[in-house]
Amino acid sequence: MSRLTLTAPAKLNLFLHINGRRDDGYHELESLFTLLDFGDELTFQLIEADTIDITGDVNGIPKEDNLIYKAAMSLITYRTVKKGVTVHLTKHLPMGGGVGGGSSDAATTLLALNILWNCQLSLAELANIGLQLGADVPVFINGKTSLAQGVGEELTTFEQAEKWFLVIAPDVHVSTAKIFTDPALPRNTPKLKSPWSMTETRNDCEELVKKLYPEVEKTLTWLLKYAPSRMTGTGSCCFATFDDEQTAQRVLQDIPCSWQGFVAKSASESITHKQLATWLNKEK
């Protein structure tokens, strides 16, 4: 039980409502998160040296600033297997695109090392640790389509029909901090009252981002020719929803060459959790 390869899945915010701003600067929100069956790939290899090493697509980020490293360090005091680890990262998700790449990598690291280091922490305990790394990390630890409330840490499993999504990353980087500190950002959307439907929802960040980053507006306008579309998180990634893979793949072939994109299916259970269960069964 010394080597493990897992997918760190992308997420989409199917909607994002901002209900208010707290005194500590954090925002109260409501968002429906779904995970996709596509993401980064992380391979964990236990080593004798008591070190945490990260190889692969690190994009020049210092190790101490890497969320994978921070996630591993947060489990050091819980490990009972006194070994170090090398984590090899293969990036497939765009950085800063609103699809949760860094948070997903951190959550996958927590899930993997909880097993490899025999930390014996519950998912709830891992989620609490993950929240210190980022508001989206508990979503990936939880591993299910979820309605998030509070600052993102209050998760309720949500039944949602599986769909195919075309996700497009325009050639622009959106600063999350810039969006959430902008005075023009709506912060007074009423909380949803049950029962509610997706037609009542939106992404409260979308209009501001389109104004500040015209390439995002261009992307959304282009996607609307083919299917209902929306921005995820604070962008820059945008997505369109389809009932079948073939239609989504055909549209992907038509995207402008300056954009990147992928097609993936939503998953009611995270691909990471499925892979972990399969691996554990083989190791028994």
Q: Which residues are catalytic?
A: 11, 136
**Is 96 annotated as belonging to a binding site?**
yes
Smallest Cα–Cα separation from 135: which of 31, 214, 62, 230?
31
Q: Which uninterrupted H or E stretch holds 88?
A: strand 84-90
**Is 256 annotated as belonging to a binding site?**
no
**Is 98 annotated as belonging to a binding site?**
yes
**Is 143 annotated as belonging to a binding site?**
no
**Is 150 annotated as belonging to a binding site?**
no
Q: Which uninterrupted H or E stretch holds 113?
A: helix 101-116
152, 169 Cβ separation under 8 angstroms: no
**Is 209 annotated as belonging to a binding site?**
no
The rounded distance, in Å, linking the Cα atoms of 54 and 178 is 29
**Is 94 annotated as belonging to a binding site?**
yes
In order of 117, 138, 141, 143, 228, the CA distances from 124 in angstroms are 18, 8, 8, 12, 35
**Is 233 annotated as belonging to a binding site?**
no
Binding residue positions for ATP: 94-104
Binding residue positions: 94-104
